[in-house]
């Protein structure tokens, strides 16, 4: 579980990360990373639309992505904002597939 300080909560912050961040696309997810100079822990946001599936499927995908990010948090540089967009194929992905994709993208774009 990600603590409150590790979550993006405002729409403007999501928009800034998606529009201005470095993008890393994979089969099931698209990861956006924007670095700030603020001395704070990394923050994560998740976009899981109705195209992924019903509420149960969307929440399952979101929980899996949050767990992956909680594991990867120590390796992410301070001040980074990371937004992960789940693609419709994410509904069929298991935890290991999502973890491999997200960790690979985070290592490329947000590693400390």
Residue 11 belongs to a domain with what CATH number? 3.30.230.10
27 DSSP β-pair partners: none
Average the pLDDT over 9-29 and give the result: 94
In which element (H, E) is residue 60 found?
Answer: helix 55-72
Other CB atoms within 10 Å distance of the CB of residue 84 = 30
In Å, how far from its chain's centre is CA 52? 15
Q: Per the structure, how many domains does the chain have?
A: 1
- Convert the pLDDT of each residue in 38-83 to its tens digit: 889 999 999 999 999 999 999 999 999 999 999 999 999 999 999 9
> Which domain range does residue 38 map to?
4-109
Residue with tokens 């976009």: 47
Helix, strand or coil, per DSSP, at residue 83: strand
pLDDT at 112 over 70: no
């Amino acid at each position: 579980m990600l603590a409150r300080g590790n979550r993006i909560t405002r729409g403007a912050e999501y928009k800034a990360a998606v529009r201005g961040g470095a993008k890393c696309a994979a089969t099931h997810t698209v990861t956006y990373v924007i670095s700030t100079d603020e001395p704070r822990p990394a923050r994560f946001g998740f976009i899981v639309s109705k195209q992924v599936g019903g509420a149960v499927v969307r929440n399952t995908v979101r929980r899996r992505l949050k767990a992956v990010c909680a594991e990867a948090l120590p390796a992410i540089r301070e001040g980074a904002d990371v937004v992960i967009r789940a693609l419709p194929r994410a509904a069929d992905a298991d935890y290991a597939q999502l973890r491999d994709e997200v960790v690979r993208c985070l290592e490329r774009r947000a590693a400390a």
